[in-house]
Amino acid sequence: MRVHFVIHESYEGPGAFSQWVERKGFQQTATRLYCGETLPQDLNFDMLVVLGGPQSPDTPQAECAHFDAEAEKNLIVRSISAGKAVIGVCLGAQLIGDALGAKYSHSPEKEIGYFPIELTLEGRKDPLLKHFKNTELVGHWHNDMPGLLPSFKVLAESQGCPRQIVKFMDLVYGFQCHLEFTRASVSELIEFAFEPQHVGHKKWVQDKETILNSDTKNMNELLFTFLDNLVAHIHEKTINPKPYQCR
């Protein structure tokens, strides 16, 4: 299994995703956009993971020279068309929705810290989330959320955001929440992006001490098992492809 990461900023990296790749003995590559690296033209990977960042899908290159939303959306569409698994986290989830024709929108609430999400009826039926409890404590760091089309399925929601996990289509998932946070990765995010003025004024923003002292082990394991389930599903599709049906 070959996993490729699109990384927008040095302080918002793969976190627990990399731990999973290393644990499984898979191959990982990355495009570090903040270093001026270019997106891959050849799809020499099995899974594309587009990570978060402070940008939005509308951020122009004049504002952030290393961020080209249209190029990323093109990569996402090409990867989906080629049958690759595609996962978006935060900004990445919004970019997937935009790439498929669903404009992102602002979340009802800013969420920064660790708060519960709840599986929807669709989420409780999704085989890749069968290991989730109905309510799970996970990480958050966002203002926006992915757009929706009638074909998309919202699998989890929270009191602050109604679109926490979205299944866009088979093998294509978006996480507005951050199951990949580790104590090490979130400490970098706090150093570069924490806004203390929101503490005490925003209902779903925790102080940095609470965030730094939170245990991420359970939500990391949720991510690992989701990824294991996704890989098993990929293998099942490869071994037992559905026959073509004339229409």
The boundaries of the domain holding residue 231 are 2-239
How many domains, in total, are found in the chain? 1
Q: What is the CATH number of the domain that holds 67?
A: 3.40.50.880
pLDDT at 241 over 70: no
**Mean pLDDT value across residues 204-215:** 96
Q: What is the pLDDT of residues 32-66, one digit of tens each?
A: 999 999 999 999 999 999 999 999 999 999 999 99
Indicate whether 13 belongs to any domain.
Answer: yes
Indicate whether 247 belongs to any domain.
Answer: no
Q: What is the pLDDT of residues 151-163, one digit of tens each?
A: 999 999 999 999 9
Predicted local distance difference test score (pLDDT) of residue 16 = 98
Distance separating alpha carbons of residues 108 and 174, to the nearest angstrom: 18
**Mean pLDDT value across residues 196-209:** 89
Indicate whether 97 belongs to any domain.
Answer: yes
pLDDT at 201 over 60: yes
Indicate whether 174 belongs to any domain.
Answer: yes
Indicate whether 244 belongs to any domain.
Answer: no
Indicate whether 245 belongs to any domain.
Answer: no
pLDDT at 244 over 70: no
Task: Find, among 84, 91, 43, 103, the residue nearest to 67 by Cα.
Answer: 91
For the whole prediction, is pTM greater than 0.75? Answer: yes
pLDDT at 102 over 70: yes
**Mean pLDDT value across residues 131-136:** 98
Indicate whether 246 belongs to any domain.
Answer: no
Indicate whether 132 belongs to any domain.
Answer: yes
